[in-house]
């Protein structure tokens, strides 16, 4: 709660372009290159003065510097100027727009929001080219809530956390770099409000509710009092939950549940431990490839993996091999457009087609295994023959490293991501090839239901509570038990409080989720009976619609949990299959 402080970061719009004489083309290219170099120098200065609490996010500034040097971006702007004989501003705008259009096809929220980095670099270039570079946030003297169209990573390095009570932006998402950096600074933020910077003016009294994604402008006295009371209750709840986040997750009747974290990047490791993670159940490795201007080399990958493994030691880190293709493609990868990329050359299929890229990553992972407890997870496995082809390459790499006397963990566990129905059907045979299974519920639901979850016409049919999903999970659990293979889940269902009684009822006791979900999931587990969950699952297993499942889950949770905890669940992002309630 506080006063608004408007930061002018309005989107720079280019409504004109002009053609250049041949004699002016080289000067225009130089003008663009000078602007890019000026920004890179400012980013270098920002890196030198980055606050200690944001040191783990210095890579974000590097990402912006990489974009300014990346031939897919930098050379494209120059080509637009040279070939089209157009001014630098228009060339930047055309290039950024083209890249943004390609990013819209990406399904993964985190990776899709990397288009914001391209947009921020483009906006910064336009401001410099137009002679109106952004002002600094260093001089904010009073406690305020910042309101802006957008904030760049460099802006975030200038913020003094003791003076900024909150952040509101027109664009962005939960996994945008700005939102992640705000979380590291423990600053509440509401992003993606579209017109906030147009509606809110400096001096407005604001209530910012980060849990609900809500901003109230100039509230009345009754609303202020209500939120002051809510704030006190929330702070007491946070103190209670975080005070218990490191306690083990054990049900009322003594069943231990393993709680791991899903990581996208190194910077999230510290927060995962702070939230009470017992290790990393899924370390996604593709961002390192997609954020690079060229194919990452073995040493670069090794240093990345080693840092994560050492930060978690002696806890386990499950590293998923490269999952690109479909909606995640880097410019330097030789991947031609496909009619249906989600069903095409992606994940392990890409790695088997590009064995040298795959071998390089495996070598880096194996080298990192010498510094802690590492497991390897292979995505999108659909058949036994596919898994055997993967293991053949894996054993080749191990033999090469043995010959070169490079140390690595020779007893490392291999696992399969279960996210295709064929893998569930063949689970008994696949269990003979690996040591563990990990359920990727996001894709498993998508492929089982034939639903594109980012398609606005059918996204409402993406339901984790659908009886078909319960039955396919039940089949997988039974096969895993009969085969004696360890089973975990690392998709969004794992961190969804409303899905917890279903997972426990199925007998799944190893969960991996986004770190911020861990405290509330642990608290629910401590108030839940494992045996009662098993009995409850027998009831919902008879349901024929997701609506019936949803109703029974809500009634069950309301009966076993306190009202305060239920309120927290419904303030939790992405809670349950509530669209059908």
Active site members: 177, 490
286 contacts 361 by C-beta, under 8 angstroms: no
Phi, psi of 544 (to 5 degrees): -110, -10
Q: Give me the sheet containing 164-169, strands edge to edge.
A: 189-190, 164-169, 144-148, 2-6, 205-209, 214-217
Distance CA 260, CA 515 (A): 8
Burial 277-312 (b: 16+ CB within 10 A, else e): bbbbbbbbbbbbbbbbbeebeeeebbebbbebbebb
Burial 38-71 (b: 16+ CB within 10 A, else e): ebeebbeebbeebeeebebbbbbbebbbbbbebe
79 contacts 295 by C-beta, under 8 angstroms: no
**DSSP reduced 3-state for 413:** strand
272 contacts 517 by C-beta, under 8 angstroms: no
DSSP assignment, residue 137?
Answer: S
Per DSSP (E only), the strands in 435-479 are: 436-439
Residue tagged 């045979």 (tokens): 429
576 contacts 496 by C-beta, under 8 angstroms: yes
Distance CA 571, CA 210 (A): 10
For 157, 264, 281, the CA distances from 372, given in Å and listed in that order, are 32, 19, 14
Task: At 73, list the tokens.
Answer: 């971006």
Parallel, antiparallel, or unpaired: how do β-strands 189-190 and 164-169 relate? parallel
Which of these, 118, 8, 127, lies nearest to 63 by C-alpha position? Answer: 118
Distance CA 137, CA 496 (A): 37
Spell out the long-range contacts of 352-356 with Cβ–Cβ below 8 A and sequence spacing 24 or more: 352/386, 352/389, 352/390, 352/393, 355/393
Element (H, E) at 323: none
- Rounded (5°) CA angle 240-246-248: 110
Distance CA 266, CA 168 (A): 26
Helix 58-69 / helix 177-184 crossing angle, nearest 10 deg? 160
Per DSSP (E only), the strands in 66-217 are: 144-148, 164-169, 189-190, 205-209, 214-217
Distance CA 227, CA 233 (A): 10
């Amino acid at each position: 709660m506080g006063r608004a402080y408007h930061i002018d970061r309005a989107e720079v719009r280019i409504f004109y372009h002009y053609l250049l004489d041949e004699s002016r083309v080289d000067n225009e290219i130089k003008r663009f290159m000078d602007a890019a170099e000026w920004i890179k120098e400012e980013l270098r200065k920002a890196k030198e003065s980055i606050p200690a609490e944001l040191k783990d996010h210095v890579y974000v500034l590097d990402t912006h510097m990489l974009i300014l040097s990346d031939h897919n971006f930098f050379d494209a702007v120059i080509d637009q100027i040279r070939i089209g004989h157009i001014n630098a501003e228009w060339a930047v705008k055309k290039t950024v727009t083209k890249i943004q259009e390609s990013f819209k096809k990406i399904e993964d929220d985190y990776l899709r929001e990397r288009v914001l980095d391209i947009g921020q670099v483009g906006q910064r270039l336009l401001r410099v080219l137009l002679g109106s570079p952004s002002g600094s946030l260093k001089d904010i003297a009073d406690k305020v809530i910042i309101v802006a169209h957008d904030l760049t990573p460099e802006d975030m390095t200038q913020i003094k956390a003791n003076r900024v009570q909150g952040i509101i932006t027109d664009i962005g998402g939960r996994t945008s770099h700005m939102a992640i950096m705000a979380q590291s600074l423990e600053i509440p933020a509401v992003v993606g409000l579209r017109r906030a910077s147009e509606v809110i003016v400096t001096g407005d009294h604001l209530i910012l509710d980060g849990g609900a994604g809500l901003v109230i402008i100039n509230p009345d006295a009754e609303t202020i009092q209500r939120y002051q009371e809510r704030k006190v209750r929330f702070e007491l709840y946070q103190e209670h939950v975080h005070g218990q986040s490191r306690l083990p997750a054990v049900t009322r009747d003594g069943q231990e549940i393993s709680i791991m974290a899903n990581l996208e990047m190194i910077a999230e490791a510290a927060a995962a431990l702070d939230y009470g993670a017992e290790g990393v159940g899924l370390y996604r490795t593709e961002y390192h490839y997609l954020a690079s201007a060229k194919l990452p080399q073995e040493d670069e990958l090794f240093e990345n993996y080693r840092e994560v493994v050492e930060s978690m030691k002696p806890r386990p880190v499950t590293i998923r091999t490269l999952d690109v293709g479909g909606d995640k493609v880097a410019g330097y990868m030789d991947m031609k457009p496909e009619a249906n990329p989600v069903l095409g050359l992606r994940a392990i299929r890409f790695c088997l087609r590009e064995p040298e890229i795959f071998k390089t990553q495996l070598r880096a992972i194996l080298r990192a295994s010498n510094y802690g407890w590492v497991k390897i997870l292979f995505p999108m496995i659909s058949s036994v023959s596919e898994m055997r082809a993967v293991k053949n390459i894996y054993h080749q790499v191990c033999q090469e490293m043995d010959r070169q006397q490079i140390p690595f963990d020779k007893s490392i566990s291999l696992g399969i991501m279960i996210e295709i129905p064929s893998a569930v059907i063949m689970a008994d045979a696949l269990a003979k090839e690996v040591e563990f299974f990990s359920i990727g519920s996001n894709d498993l639901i998508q492929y089982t239901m034939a639903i594109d979850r980012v398609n606005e016409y059918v996204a409402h049919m993406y339901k984790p509570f659908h009886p078909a999903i319960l039955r396919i999970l039940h089949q997988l659990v039974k096969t895993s038990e009969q085969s004696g293979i360890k089973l975990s889940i690392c998709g969004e269902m794992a961190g969804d409080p409303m899905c917890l009684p279903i997972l426990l009822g199925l007998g799944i006791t190893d969960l991996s989720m986004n770190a911020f979900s861990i405290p509330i999931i642990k608290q629910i587990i401590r108030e839940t009976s494992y045996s009662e969950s098993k009995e409850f699952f027998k009831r919902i297993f008879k349901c024929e619609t997701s609506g019936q499942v949803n109703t029974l889950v809500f009634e069950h949770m309301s009966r076993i949990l306190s009202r305060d905890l239920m309120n927290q669940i419904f303030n939790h992002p992405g809670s349950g299959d509530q669209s059908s309630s």
